[in-house]
Amino acid sequence: MTDARGNARPNGEAPAPHPPGTPCWVSLMVHGLEATEKFYGALFGWEFRPGPEQLGPYVRALRDGHAVAGVGVLPPDRRLPIAWTPYFASDDVNATADAVRSCGGTIGVGPLDAGDAGRLAIGSDPGGAVFGIWQPATHTGHALTGTPGTPAWNELTTYESAPVAKFYGTVFGHDGERTVSADLDHVTLHLDGRPVAAVHGLGRALPRDRGPHWTTYFAVADTDDAVERVRHLGGRVLRPPRDGDRGRSALVADPEGARFAVVKSPR
């Protein structure tokens, strides 16, 4: 799990860019923007401001005045899954998109400009898990991580961790550290010696209706309280709170079905 920290600078200066390969943003595409704002606003204390609309209506979620996530509206003619998507920072989204293709992944959207905010692409790894690529301009990504109401961690669930970890290592420069266990297929992705994400292989136990997918963990002050609020706000609890090496976490879904996790770090 990443430490509770941010990249916002003092005196109102623009946040520093995230190093290439770092998870720098999370975004959600939904059908009902107003209802989604109401749910996450009540759950995480987010406020919302208009963002780039190259792909349709889009808002940025703010926590304590800092942008932490994005929410957009799915085109009515597209039958796409409602899911949180992590974005990885890049100095050159075109070159990164080429690397994705050459390593067996696909690019489904872009590369394209998002106004003056930056440049993006959305792709999938060889297993089919969807992720984004972000080349910043005026918008560098989330300015806070690990504090309540902000992204804390991203974990990929797939069939086998080794080949997929190699893909992300080649494309984004991650170093993989395998968990030594006969019963657990797990790799932590590091960048410059710092853990930035994880890959968890489930083999045939991976639900066929889900397939490989990324899960974003959002930090909360109290996991059990957050789960009760999810229920009260019309969401679902998919895995009740439990303690683990990275803290007390639970897997939940919002009213439209987008899955995410809430976690309170043990630190």
Q: Kindly report whether the global pTM for this prediction surpasses the value 0.75.
A: yes
| Tokens 């720098």, residue located | 24
pLDDT digits (tens, 9 = 90+) for 41-62: 999 999 999 987 766 789 999 9
Instruction: Provide the pLDDT for residue 10.
Output: 40
Q: How confident is the model at residue 3 (pLDDT cuts 50, 70, 90)?
A: very low
Q: What is the token pair recorded at 195?
A: 């853990």
Instruction: Provide the pLDDT for residue 209.
Output: 80
Instruction: Provide the pLDDT for residue 143.
Output: 74
Mean of pLDDT values over 105-133: 95
Which DSSP string corresponds to 27-75?
EEEES-HHHHHHHHHHHH--EEEE---TTSSEEEEEETTEEEEEEEE--
How many H helices and E strands in the chain?
4, 18
Mean of pLDDT values over 142-148: 84
pLDDT reading at 83 higher than 80: yes
Percent of the chain with pLDDT over 70: 91
pLDDT reading at 163 higher than 70: yes
pLDDT digits (tens, 9 = 90+) for 186-224: 999 999 999 999 999 999 889 888 899 999 999 999 999
pLDDT reading at 9 higher than 80: no
Mean of pLDDT values over 16-34: 93
| Tokens 């669930």, residue located | 157
Per-residue exposure over 42-67, b if at least 16 CB sit within 10 Å of its own CB, e if not: ebbebebeebbeebeebbbbbbbebb
Instruction: Provide the pLDDT for residue 8.
Output: 47
Pairing of strands 130-136, 118-124: antiparallel
Q: What is the token pair recorded at 232?
A: 């009260």
pLDDT reading at 12 higher than 50: no
Q: What is the token pair recorded at 259?
A: 């899955």
Instruction: Provide the pLDDT for residue 266.
Output: 66
pLDDT reading at 15 higher than 70: no
Instruction: Provide the pLDDT for residue 142.
Output: 85
Question: In whole angstroms, how far apart are CA 227 and each of 33, 183, 235?
Answer: 22, 29, 9
Q: Which residues contact 61 (CB under 8 A, 6 or more apart)?
A: 40, 44, 46, 47, 48, 67, 68, 69, 70, 71
Given a contact cutoff of 8 angstroms between Cβ atoms, the answer to whether 46 and 104 are in contact is: no
Instruction: Provide the pLDDT for residue 77.
Output: 72
Q: Alpha helix (H) ranges present in the chain?
A: 33-44, 93-102, 161-172, 223-232
pLDDT digits (tens, 9 = 90+) for 225-252: 999 999 999 999 999 999 987 799 999 9
CA 15-18-22 angle, 5° bins: 150
